[in-house]
Amino acid sequence: MPLNLTKIAFGAKSFADIEEWYANRKSFKVNTRYRPTRWEETIGGSLFWIHEHNIVARSKILGYSQQDNGRWWIEIEPRLVRVMPRPKRAHQGWRYLKGEPPRDLVDGEEIGDVIPGRLAGKLQRLGLI
């Protein structure tokens, strides 16, 4: 089973901003300082986007390539897949996703009102959700 990564959707004011990043692209690359040490295991896994303290979407990881300045590109599929929102604290750069990844939403599935990530995290620590 491939490893998955999480990354903050930095600069996105809304989910529509993330969707706009993907609009009309034939390829999509994410800039990062360091390549994961277990990078080979992440190929075929997904990069999960965190927005407003919730994991909200994912894209399949296709590979990695090094830039001239020593940084790395994470090459991802230019298709955004919405997932069932799950609380996730903010972090810098990327992190490995621990545990079972959130499931994909099926076409037309309504998620209803999503509890804000910070509140959901507190409720989860209290064992209420």
Instruction: For 44-70, write each residue's pLDDT tens digit.
Output: 999 999 998 899 999 999 999 999 999
Structure tokens at 65: 């390539």
d(CA 34, CA 58): 20
The pTM of this model reads 0.84
pLDDT value for 114: 56
pLDDT value for 100: 92
Q: C-alpha distances in angstroms, 16 versus 30, 44, 51, 59, 106?
A: 18, 25, 11, 16, 18
Q: C-alpha distances in angstroms, 49 versus 56, 70, 84, 96?
A: 6, 24, 12, 12
